[in-house]
Structure 1
Amino acid sequence: RNGCSAVVRRLVLEIGFGDGESLVAMAMVHPEMDYLGIEVHRPGIGHVLLRAEALDLSNLRVMCSDAVEVLRQLPDESLERIQIFFPDPWPKARHHKRRLIQPPFVEMLVSKLKWAGQLHVATDCEDYAHSILNVLRVVPELANVVDGDGFAARPTYRPLTRFERRGQRLGHEVWDMLFARSQPGV
């Protein structure tokens, strides 16, 4: 041994970070954690890169790619938390098959979470919130971290975005779902 020990940092993955406002804020407040953001909207990626450089953030990386392709390359049990905030709700029934939170995608997400790692999804579409909750509830390796109706209060680590603040002023609700990876049957 050479006397050096590698420091393993906790890695948070955010899928679809939009303009990246909340992703940058989290990376600023939690320098002890590493953040990887995946987005396909190039202006959002550019915004995050400019902000990260201006703030000299060394714990934030972004990728312009399809989330499924990135997930396939990540090692299993490597993520502390996966965040999916305000995915497209595809509100028309005929488009529901396009929604991101579907059983096969969730299976892939779960395999990338460490034991006790968390999957955090937030949406401002009530119908989609119930759909997501129903998908997550039946995954044997996921346990809801809240009791009751299954929706969580917004964790303090998730900053309000300007879109969310605007929605609140208009009376729109937001539903957060927070699940932890556990051993099946536990």
Structure 2
Amino acid sequence: MSELRQQNPSAPTAPVPVRDRSEPRFPGGPIADPAGSHHERRIRSFQPRRSRVTTGQGDALTRLWPVWGCEIDGHEILDLAELFDGAPVVLEIGFGMGEATAQMAAADPGTGILAVDVHTPGQGNLLALAERNGLDNIRVANGDAIILLREMLPPDSLDGVRVYFPDPWPKKRHHKRRLIQPEFLALAARRLKAGAVLHCATDWEPYAEQMLEVLSAHPDFENTQQAGGYAPRPAFRPLTRFESQGLDKGHTVHDLLFRRVTEPGSHQA
């Protein structure tokens, strides 16, 4: 064939098939943009990361996504009672590689964790951890957490929301991309049951200060710390590898635990 090409370099070549980017990279696995969210004119608080998926992660995505995965497509309301057999449900937004999520699920098997991320290797890794450790109280959601909260969860359906180490968007011009903003808090409040806790953690000091400011000012939340300010790291939140690296660099980690008040502000569902 190479000799033929050398003799006739102008001969047409067969077209290279192009993969439909809307199709899953792994058969039956998560798709690239389940809600077509690139058509929505909204500033994103996340940026999808491309990195290599290991053989084990790819195998977990292919086998386990149809069982424990769900796409955030914005088309229907999730039946959390069916997904988690009636257990209370905590939403975790951004779980990295899933080690901390798996630890929390193992320590509290009576609580369901709906874990949301767009990082494919992390999705595969968390599914593999869930299978390896027999954790049937984890469901992995793929896509934009804002669409999930706004379009796919009923009011007063969550027993907690966890946002651990979100992207701090350190440059001033990117601060508008930070997740913890008044608009997000109003949306989360509508999905949280009265008394449920929004738990944030960050090792970026300026972001921690912003979190504390907007949470303290929001009428739907009250600080669980009577004296105000940051909370000690609760025992149920594991010390992650990422957090340990930050501590080694001299970073200070701040936890914020704010309770949804019984008489929330007048927000429309």
TM-score clears 0.5: yes
Contact 2:117–2:141 under 8 Å retained in 1: yes
Report the equivalent of 1:26. Answer: 104
Q: 1:156 aligns with which of 232, 235, 245?
A: 235
Deviations 1:68-90 (A, max 9, x none): 11112111111111000000000
**Amino acid in the other structure paired with 2:131:** E
Q: 1:84 aligns with which of 144, 163, 170?
A: 163
**Amino acid in the other structure paired with 2:128:** L
User: Secondary structure, in 3 states, of the residue corresponding to 1:32?
Assistant: coil
1:57 Cα deviation after fit: 0.9
More RCO (CA 8 Å, sep 6+): 1
1:71-110 equivalence runs, <5 A? 71-72=149-150, 73-110=152-189
Contact 1:140–1:184 under 8 Å retained in 2: no
Distance 1:14 1:181 in 2: 16
Report the equivalent of 1:3. Answer: none
Moved more, 45-54 or 146-155: 146-155
**Amino acid in the other structure paired with 1:90:** W
Structure 1 stretches lacking a partner, 5+ long? 1-5
Aligned residues: 181
User: Secondary structure, in 3 states, of the residue corresponding to 2:219?
Assistant: coil
Query: Computing the radius of gyration over CA atoms, which structure comes out larger, 1 or 2?
Result: 2
**Amino acid in the other structure paired with 1:9:** A
1:48-59 equivalence runs, <5 A? 48-59=126-137
User: Secondary structure, in 3 states, of the residue corresponding to 1:136?
Assistant: helix
Distance 2:128 2:263 in 1: 42
Report the equivalent of 2:117. Answer: 39
Q: 2:222 aligns with which of 140, 143, 158?
A: 143
Distance 2:91 2:261 in 1: 19
1:177 matched to 2:259 = no
Distance 2:245 2:166 in 1: 17
User: Secondary structure, in 3 states, of the residue corresponding to 2:175?
Assistant: helix
1:170 Cα deviation after fit: 2.4
1:169 Cα deviation after fit: 2.3
Distance 1:79 1:113 in 2: 5
User: Secondary structure, in 3 states, of the residue corresponding to 2:197?
Assistant: strand
User: Secondary structure, in 3 states, of the residue corresponding to 2:215?
Assistant: helix
Percent of matched pairs sharing the same residue: 47
Distance 2:232 2:86 in 1: 29
Q: What is the RMSD computed on CA atoms of the aligned residues?
A: 1.6
Q: 1:129 aligns with which of 196, 208, 233?
A: 208
Deviations 1:12-65 (A, max 9, x none): 110011111111110011101111100011111011011111112110000111
Contact 2:186–2:220 under 8 Å retained in 1: no
- Higher strand proportion (structure 1 or 2): 1
1:164 Cα deviation after fit: 0.8
**Amino acid in the other structure paired with 2:138:** L
